[in-house]
C-alpha cells in the first residue's frame, strides 16, 4: 500500500454541496439554523473522510429572531449544540482584572481578583462563604485563600475544614444532608441574608445524596436551580462555582447552566473572570467539571456574554433584536421628517416646556437651513466639524466642533479633507455651552461615528442626568466584527441605568437605523 493508501476517498461534490447549503444559511442570517449547519458541516466532513456511514443532522429547532428572549436564550434541543454554545460563552472573560491570582491546586483552582474594588486593607479578602456538600473536597483552595473570616455550610467530616487555620470560622453543619438528603436552603438563606462577603464558593454536589435511580435528587440538574434560589440573598464581591455535566441528560443540564450564566450577568451583575475545566467538556461529554470565577461589577463590565457561537451574524441579529424591542408603547407625537432624513424626537416632551433646548451633533452635510427648522421651536445648539456655507437664524447657535470619544479630554483629529483638522470636545464641554441645567434632547447624527463616542457618553454620568431624550441615527456596516456588535449591544443596554427607555425604533435599510431613548417623568407618564 502506498503512502496515501490508508486514506478513505472523500467525495468532493458532497463537500461542495455542504458548503453551498451553509453559505445559503449564512445569507439567511438565521442563528439557530447556523448552529445546526456548523455542527452538521463538521460531522459530515469528518464522516466523509473517516466513516462510510452517513451522519444525521442534530435536531436543532428553527426560531424566528422576533421570538427570541435575549436574556433567556431558548433551548437548542441537542446536547452537542448546547455544549458548543456554553463553551463559547465560557471562553470569553467578561471582566479585566489587573491583579488576578490563581488560588488552589492544579485540578481544583480558581481565579481571585485582588484589585482594590474587591479587597479590604492590605489587599486581603473579607469574609468568605464556603458552601459545599462534598466531604472529600480538595481543601487547597480554602488553604490558599487566607481571608479575614470564614462562614461555612458543610456536612460533618468535611475534609477541607482542617485546611482553614488562623482565622475565625463560623461552622454551620448541613445535618439534613446526610439524614434526609436535603440541602435545607431555607437555613442557608437565613444564614447569609444579612452578610456582606468578600467571596463566596458554591458547590451543590454531595456523595451523601443517592442517585436518582435510588430515589435521590438529580444533583446535576438541580445544582444551577439551587444557586438561582440563593443568588437573590447573596451579597458578595466575588463568586466561585463548580458546575458538573455528564452525558446523561446533558442537554437539560447545560441549558440550565447557560441560562443561569445569563442571569448572573444581566440580573445580578456578576461577570465571568475565568473558566477552567477538567474531564471531557467538549464533543464527547464525560465527567465534565467547570471551575468558574466571577466578580460583582458596579456600573458595567468589559463585555456582555457571547450570544450563541458568537459569530458576526448572531451578534448583529441580537443587536437588531434589541433595537426593535422597545420598552414602552409610544402613544405620542414623533418629530420625524422624511424629506430631511432627521433622527426622531418625542415632541410632546419638548414643547410642553418653555425655553426648551436641544443639542444636535452632526457629521453629515447640511443642505439647507430648513432642515434645522424642521426640528421644532426649541433653542438649538448645533455642533458640526464640517464647514457650513448656510446662514442660520439667530436662534441657532453654531459651533464647529465634534464630540470626543474620550470622556475627559478634548482632542484634535484629521478631518474628512486632507487640509482639515477637527476639534472634538468632551460631552461636558458641549453640554456646558448651553448654560442650561436641563437638556431636552441630544441628537447624535454622526454617520457611523456614534459607536466611537458611546463609551465616553456612558462615562459622563453628570451630563446624562441632565439629558431627557437621546436620539441616535445608527449606522451598522455590513461585515462588522462580532466583538463590535457585542460591544454596541452592551453599550446601548447600559443607558437603562441612567433612566433611559427605548421609546421608538425604525429602520430605513440594513445599514441605517433610528433609535429614540427618553426618560420617564411625572408629567409625561400618560403620554408615553
Comparing 189 with 56, the larger pLDDT belongs to: 189
pLDDT for the residue 410: 95
Please list the residues that pair with 169 across neighbouring strands.
150
Written as nine digits, the cell of 55 is: 451522519
CA distance 454 to 244: 39
Comparing 516 with 334, the larger pLDDT belongs to: 516
Highest mean pLDDT among 54-63, 196-205, 243-252: 196-205
pLDDT for the residue 20: 61
Predicted confidence (pLDDT) at residue 60 exceeds the cutoff of 70: no
Instruction: Work out the average pLDDT over 448-465.
Output: 95
**What b/e sequence results for 392-407 when a residue is b if at least 16 CB atoms lie within 10 Å of its CB, and e otherwise?**
eeeebeebebbbbbbb
* pLDDT (tens digit per residue) in 194-220: 999 999 999 999 999 999 988 899 999
Considering the chain, what is the average pLDDT of its residues?
A: 86
Q: Which helix (H) or strand (E) holds 242?
A: strand 238-245
Predicted confidence (pLDDT) at residue 354 exceeds the cutoff of 50: yes
Bridge pairing between strands 286-296 and 238-245 = antiparallel
Distances (CA, A) of 496 to 217, 474, 513: 40, 18, 19
Instruction: Work out the average pLDDT over 465-481.
Output: 93
Which residues contact residue 242 at a Cβ distance below 8 angstroms, ignoring those fewer than 6 apart?
202, 203, 205, 289, 290, 291, 292
Instruction: Work out the average pLDDT over 343-355.
Output: 71
* pLDDT (tens digit per residue) in 311-335: 999 999 999 999 999 987 665 556 5
Predicted confidence (pLDDT) at residue 35 exceeds the cutoff of 60: no
Using 50, 70 and 90 to split pLDDT, how confident is the model at 342? confident
- Structural domains of the chain ordered from first start: 1-68 (no CATH), 87-306 (3.40.50), 317-519 (3.40.50)
Predicted confidence (pLDDT) at residue 339 exceeds the cutoff of 70: no
Predicted confidence (pLDDT) at residue 50 exceeds the cutoff of 50: no
Say if residues 238 and 295 touch (Cβ distance below 8 Å): yes
* pLDDT (tens digit per residue) in 290-301: 999 999 999 888
Which residues contact residue 370 at a Cβ distance below 8 angstroms, ignoring those fewer than 6 apart?
340
Predicted confidence (pLDDT) at residue 30 exceeds the cutoff of 60: no
Say if residues 424 and 414 touch (Cβ distance below 8 Å): no
Predicted confidence (pLDDT) at residue 512 exceeds the cutoff of 70: yes
Output DSSP code: residue 160. Answer: G
Predicted confidence (pLDDT) at residue 57 exceeds the cutoff of 90: no
Predicted confidence (pLDDT) at residue 6 exceeds the cutoff of 50: no
Instruction: Work out the average pLDDT over 114-128.
Output: 92
Instruction: Work out the average pLDDT over 262-289.
Output: 94
Residue (of 138, 105, 398) closest to 276 by Cα position: 105
pLDDT for the residue 204: 98
Q: How many CA atoms lie within 13 A of 474 on its CB side?
A: 24
pLDDT for the residue 51: 41
Instruction: Kindly report which listed range (101-105, 150-154, 161-165) carries the lowest average pLDDT score.
Output: 161-165
Which residues contact residue 341 at a Cβ distance below 8 angstroms, ignoring those fewer than 6 apart?
508
pLDDT for the residue 44: 44
pLDDT for the residue 520: 73
Amino acid at each position: 500500500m502506498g503512502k496515501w493508501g490508508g486514506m478513505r476517498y472523500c467525495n468532493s461534490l458532497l463537500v461542495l454541496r455542504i458548503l453551498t447549503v451553509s453559505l445559503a444559511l449564512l445569507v439567511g442570517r438565521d442563528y439557530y439554523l447556523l448552529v445546526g449547519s456548523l455542527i452538521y458541516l463538521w460531522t459530515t466532513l469528518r464522516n466523509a473522510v473517516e466513516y462510510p456511514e452517513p451522519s444525521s443532522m442534530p435536531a436543532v429547532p428553527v426560531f424566528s429572531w422576533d421570538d427570541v428572549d435575549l436574556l433567556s436564550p431558548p433551548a437548542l434541543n441537542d446536547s452537542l449544540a448546547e455544549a458548543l454554545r456554553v463553551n463559547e460563552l465560557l471562553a470569553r472573560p467578561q471582566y479585566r482584572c489587573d491583579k488576578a491570582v490563581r488560588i488552589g491546586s492544579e485540578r481544583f483552582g480558581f481565579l481571585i481578583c485582588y484589585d482594590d474594588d474587591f479587597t479590604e486593607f492590605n489587599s486581603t479578602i473579607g469574609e468568605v462563604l464556603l458552601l459545599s456538600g462534598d466531604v472529600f473536597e480538595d481543601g487547597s483552595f480554602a488553604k490558599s485563600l487566607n481571608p479575614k473570616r470564614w462562614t461555612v455550610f458543610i456536612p460533618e467530616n468535611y475534609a477541607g475544614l482542617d485546611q482553614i487555620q488562623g482565622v475565625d470560622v463560623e461552622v454551620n453543619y448541613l445535618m439534613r444532608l446526610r439524614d434526609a438528603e436535603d440541602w435545607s436552603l431555607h437555613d442557608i438563606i437565613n444564614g447569609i441574608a444579612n452578610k456582606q462577603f468578600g467571596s463566596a464558593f458554591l458547590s451543590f454536589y454531595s456523595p451523601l445524596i443517592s442517585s436518582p435511580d435510588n430515589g435521590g435528587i438529580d444533583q446535576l440538574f438541580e445544582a444551577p436551580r439551587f444557586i438561582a434560589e440563593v443568588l437573590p440573598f447573596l451579597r458578595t464581591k466575588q463568586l466561585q462555582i463548580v458546575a458538573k455535566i455528564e452525558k446523561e441528560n446533558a442537554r437539560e443540564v447545560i441549558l440550565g447552566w447557560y441560562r443561569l450564566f445569563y442571569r448572573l450577568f444581566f440580573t445580578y451583575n456578576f461577570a465571568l473572570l475565568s473558566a477552567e475545566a477538567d474531564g471531557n467538556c467538549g464533543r464527547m461529554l464525560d465527567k465534565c467539571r467547570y471551575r468558574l470565577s466571577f466578580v460583582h461589577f458596579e456600573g458595567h463590565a468589559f463585555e456582555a456574554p457571547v450570544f450563541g457561537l458568537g459569530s458576526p451574524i448572531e451578534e448583529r441579529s441580537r443587536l437588531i433584536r434589541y433595537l426593535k424591542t422597545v420598552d414602552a408603547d409610544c402613544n405620542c407625537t414623533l418629530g420625524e421628517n422624511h424629506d430631511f432624513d432627521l433622527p426622531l424626537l418625542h415632541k410632546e416632551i419638548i414643547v410642553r416646556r418653555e425655553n426648551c433646548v436641544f443639542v444636535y451633533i452632526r457629521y453629515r452635510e447640511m443642505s439647507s437651513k430648513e432642515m434645522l427648522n424642521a426640528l421644532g421651536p426649541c433653542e438649538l445648539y448645533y455642533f458640526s466639524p464640517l464647514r457650513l456655507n448656510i446662514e442660520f437664524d439667530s436662534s441657532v447657535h453654531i459651533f464647529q466642533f465634534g464630540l470626543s470619544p474620550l470622556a475627559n479630554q478634548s482632542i484634535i483629529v484629521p478631518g474628512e479633507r486632507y487640509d482639515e483638522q477637527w476639534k472634538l470636545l468632551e460631552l461636558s464641554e458641549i453640554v456646558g455651552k448651553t448654560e442650561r441645567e436641563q437638556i431636552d434632547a441630544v441628537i447624535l447624527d454622526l454617520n457611523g461615528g456614534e459607536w466611537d463616542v458611546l463609551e465616553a457618553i456612558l462615562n459622563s454620568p453628570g451630563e446624562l442626568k441632565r439629558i431627557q431624550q437621546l436620539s441616535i441615527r445608527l449606522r451598522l456596516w455590513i461585515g462588522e466584527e462580532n466583538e463590535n456588535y457585542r460591544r454596541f449591544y452592551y453599550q446601548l443596554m447600559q443607558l437603562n441605568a441612567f433612566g433611559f427607555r427605548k421609546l421608538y425604533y425604525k429602520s430605513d435599510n440594513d445599514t441605517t437605523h433610528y433609535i429614540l431613548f427618553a426618560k420617564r417623568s411625572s408629567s409625561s407618564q400618560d403620554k408615553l
